Structure 1
Amino acid sequence: MTADLQAPNHASYDIVIIGGAIMGSSTAWFLTEQKDFDGRVLVVERDPTYQNSSTMHTNSCMRQQFSNELNVRISQFAADFVKNLRSYMGGDERAPNLSIHNFGYMYLADNEGFANVLRENQKVQLAAGAATKLMTPDDIRRDYPFYNLDDIVLGSINLVDEGFWDGTAVFDCWRRQARERGVEYIRNEVVAMTKNPAGTRIESVTLKSGEVVSCGKVLNASGPRAARTSAMAGIDLPVEPRKRFTWVFSAEKPLDRDLPLTIDPSGVHVREYGGGTYQCGAHTAIDPAVDYDDFAMDHTLWEDHVWPILATRIPQFEAIKVQSEWAGHYAYNTFDQNAIMGPHTDVENFFFLNGFSGHGLQQSPAMGRGTAELLVHGEYRSLDLRPFDYERLVLDRPILEKAII
C-alpha cells in the first residue's frame, strides 16, 4: 500500500462518501441518526488535516438574507442546530454550548436597481420568519456612524441568527461522533469508478492504494474537486475551484461597536473578528477557475484594490495592519451558484452534495440531514430540498439566487 494511505477494513460498503470535510462529515453523522439504517459507511478523505479545504478557509458566518425562501429556511435550521448543538449531539458533554455572534450582514446598495433587489429580498425573508430590516442612509449613520455613505441609497441588515459561529467545533463533533457510531474514515483517494454493463450504477470505486471497494451508493462530497470526482463516473459537473482571498487586520483606531459583515457594492466584504481586529475578503475582477492546488496569494489585490475600498467605506480603516492572509477555494457552481444535490438522472446510485459557491458551511446541517434522509429513505423528510436536485441541470432550470457574495 502507498505510504501514509489507509486501507479500508472491508471490501464492500453500503455508502461510500468521497470527501470528509464539512459536507461529507455532516452527512456521515446524520446517517447515524437514521433509526432505520445500520449499513456500513466509508468516508474517503485525501487530506485528513483539511488544511486546504474550503471548510478550513471559511469565514464561518451564517445569514438569512437570501432571495430564495428555501435558502433562508436552510440557514434557519443551521442557527437552531448551532445554538442547540449539545442537545442534537444527544447530550454529549464534549459538545460545546455554542452561540451566534449576531453582528449581522450589512448589504449596501449604491443604486436604485440594487436597492430594489434588497427590497424584494426582504419580502421573501420576512415571509420566511427572518428579522431583516431595511435602513436608509440616515438610519445607518445613526447606528453605525463609522461608514462613509456618500454613495449609498439603502442598506439591509438582520441581527437575529446572522453572524459568526464556530463551524470548526461543529465539524469536530460530527467527525468524532460519526466515528464512534461506526462510520469508517480513511486517508485515501478515489481514483476510478466502475459501472455496471448498462452504465446505470456504480459498482465499485478504486482507491489510490489499489483496493477495489464495492458500494451500494456513492456520495460526491469533494468540494472544489467535485467535477474531477464526477468525471470518474462519466458525468460532467459545472463546479470549479475559484480563488477567494482573505485578510485579517488590526486597526490603529478600532471601531467602538461591532462591525456587521459589510458587503460593499464593490464586492469587498469585511466583518468583526474580535479584539480590535477584522476579517476581509475579496476576489480578483477576472475570476477564472484555478488549479486544485493553487493557493498562492495575490499581494497586489490588497494594495491596489481592497485596502483603498476599505479606507473609503470606513475612514478609520485608513491606518490598518495585515496580521494574516490566505487564499482558499470556492466550490463554484457555474450553472446557478447554488447547491447541487440528489441522485444523477442516469447513474442512479451516484449522489451529489456539491457546488455551494461560498455558502456551504452555513448550509451543512440542513444539507447533510437531507442527504442522509435521501440516501436511506429515498426522500427528503425534514425539509424538501428537491429544487436543488441535479435534475434541474438536465432540465436547464437554474435557481436564481440574487444574494451571492
Structure 2
Amino acid sequence: MIRAADIVIVGGGVMGCSLAWHLAIQSRGSASIIIVERDSSYRFASSALSLSSIRQQFTTPVNIEMSRYTLEILRDPSPLMIEGQAPDFQFVERGYLFLGRGDEKAGIEHAYQVQRGCGFDPELTKGPALAGRYPWLHTEDLAIASHGREGEGWFDGYSLLRSLRAAARGKGAELVDDNVVALRRDGANWSVELGKGGAIACSHVVNAAGPWAAEIADMAGCILPVRGQKRSVFVVDAPDADSDWPLVIDPEGFYFRPEGRTFLIGAPAPADFCSADDFEPDYPVFDEWLWPRLAARAPAFERLKLLGAWAGHYEMNIFDSNAVVGPSGVQNFWLINGFSGHGLQHALAAGRGLAELMIDGQYRSIDLYPLSLDRLQQIFASPEAHII
C-alpha cells in the first residue's frame, strides 16, 4: 500500500516530534506530516534514556541560544497545553558545576567569556577560594570552578517527549510504528519504504533518526559523520551526600547529580563507538574506575549502595561534537542530527528552526546556520568543547 504526505520525518523521538509540532504551527496546518518511529515503546530511545538536563555553559553561542528556548518552555509549559492541561516538567533549577584543573583553567575562562557575551553569568571560583566555596568536594587538585546558579538544572525528559508527541498529533501529525528500510528518489520527490511493507510517497524527508542517522543518510546518498556511543548511568543510594548539590562535572569526565533521595552517576565516554543493539550498562567501569574517583572527589560517596543502572546512546558528531541541522545537499532531504549528548535540551529550538527554514526558507528565531552541513563540507569545524 502506498500512502502520501508532504513531509515524512524518520524518527519519532523528541527531535522528530518537536519538528512535527513546529512544522504544523509554521505551516498553519497546511502541511501533512507523518512520523515514522521504529520503537514506539521508546524503550531504547535516546530521548527516554537521557539524563534530561539543561545548561547554558556551552562554548558555542548557538548552543546557549538554543537552551534558552527550552528554558522558556520549562518555566512556562503553556504552549504545550493539551485539553486545557499544561504539562509539569518538574524542572529543578540547581545548575551545573564544571570543575577544572590547571590545564583546563584557560578553557573554562574562555567559555565564561563566551557565556557572558551571550548574557549568561556563571559564578567563577578560583584557587584557594574553592575549598571554602565547596567544602563537600576535594579541591586540592582544582584550579577553577564554574557554577551556573540559575537557568540550568534537570527535568522530566520523558514528560517533554510525551508532551511534544501529543502536541504534534494534536496538530494533525500521524505517527507510524515501523522502520525505514529504503529511501528512493523520483525527481524532487521521495518514496519511503517501510519494514512492515508498503511505502509513503512524499515531497520532503527529514532525518531525525538519532544514533541511526548515518544509516538513514546513506539511504539518501548523503554521508553523515554521526555514530552511536553508549553511555552508562548508575543509580546509587548515598546517605551522606546532600540532595541540594548541583550537577557536577569532574575533570576526569564523569558527572553526578541528585535525583530525589538518590544520585545519578554518569560514566565518561568510552573509547569506541557501539553497536545499535548494545544497551548493557558497563558495570565493571563503576566498580573498578568510577567509584574510587567519585569518592576521591566527594568523600560523601565513600559510603554508597548501587541500586541499578541503564545505558543509552549518544548520537555523536565525530567531526566537531555539534549538531547538523538544515539541508543535506540532496534535494528535499533534511537533517536534524548529531547533537552529541545535548539533543533533549536543544530539540525545541532545533525543531522550531528547521521548521522555519523548510516552510519560510529562512531562520526567523535563532540563526542555526553555524550548525549547517556546509561547515563539514568546507572542513570548517564549529567545535563544542563542553561535551559531557
TM-score over 0.5 (shorter chain): yes
Moved more, 42-51 or 31-40: 31-40
* Aligned equivalent of 1:38, options 19, 30, 47: 30
Shift of residue 397 of structure 1?
Answer: 1.1
Shift of residue 180 of structure 1?
Answer: 2.1
Which AA in structure 1 matches 2:118? A
SS in 1 for 2:119: coil
**Deviation above 6 Å: which 4+ runs of structure 1?**
none
Which AA in structure 2 matches 1:379? Q
Give the distance between the partners of 1:279 and 1:404, measured in 2 at CA: 18
Aligned to 1:4: none
Give the distance between the partners of 1:144 and 1:293, measured in 2 at CA: 40
* Aligned equivalent of 1:165, options 155, 174, 177: 155
Aligned to 1:316: 300
Alignment of 1:211-360 (within 5 A): 211-255=198-242, 258-275=244-261, 277-283=262-268, 286-345=270-329, 347-360=330-343
Give the distance between the partners of 1:90 and 1:315, measured in 2 at CA: 44
SS in 1 for 2:26: coil
Give the distance between the partners of 2:12 and 2:355, measured in 1 at CA: 14
SS in 2 for 1:32: helix
User: Is residue 2:169 matched to residue 1:179?
Assistant: yes
Q: Deviations over 1:279-322 (max 9, x none)?
A: 011136x5211110111222210011100011000011011011
Contact 2:127 2:144 in 1 (8 A): yes
Give the distance between the partners of 2:291 and 2:157, measured in 1 at CA: 27
* Aligned equivalent of 1:82, options 44, 54, 74: 74
C-alpha distance 70-146 of structure 1, shift in aligned 2 (>3 A): same
Alignment of 1:145-160 (within 5 A): 145-160=135-150
SS in 1 for 2:12: coil
Q: Which runs of 5+ in 2 are unaligned?
A: none
CA RMSD after TM alignment: 1.6
TM, length-normalised to structure 2: 0.96
User: Is residue 2:91 matched to residue 1:108?
Assistant: no
Shift of residue 374 of structure 1?
Answer: 1.5
Shift of residue 170 of structure 1?
Answer: 1.8
Q: Which runs of 5+ in 1 are unaligned?
A: 1-6
Shift of residue 36 of structure 1?
Answer: 4.2
Give the distance between the partners of 2:354 and 2:132, measured in 1 at CA: 44
Contact 2:5 2:34 in 1 (8 A): yes
* Aligned equivalent of 1:120, options 110, 117, 121: 110
Contact 2:319 2:381 in 1 (8 A): yes
Contact 1:19 1:43 in 2 (8 A): yes
Shift of residue 98 of structure 1?
Answer: 4.2
Give the distance between the partners of 1:75 and 1:194, measured in 2 at CA: 35
User: Is residue 2:14 matched to residue 1:22?
Assistant: yes
TM, length-normalised to structure 1: 0.92
SS in 1 for 2:46: coil
Contact 2:324 2:335 in 1 (8 A): yes
SS in 2 for 1:11: strand
Aligned to 2:192: 205
Moved more, 89-98 or 324-333: 89-98
Q: Deviations over 1:165-215 (max 9, x none)?
A: 222222111111211221000101111111236xxx452111112212211
C-alpha distance 335-39 of structure 1, shift in aligned 2 (>3 A): same
Give the distance between the partners of 1:189 and 1:98, measured in 2 at CA: 29
Q: Deviations over 1:12-31 (max 9, x none)?
A: 11000000001000101111
Contact 1:106 1:262 in 2 (8 A): yes
Q: Percent identity?
A: 36
Moved more, 90-99 or 349-358: 90-99
Give the distance between the partners of 2:153 and 2:138, measured in 1 at CA: 22
Moved more, 246-255 or 261-270: 246-255
Contact 2:19 2:354 in 1 (8 A): yes
Which AA in structure 1 matches 2:35? V
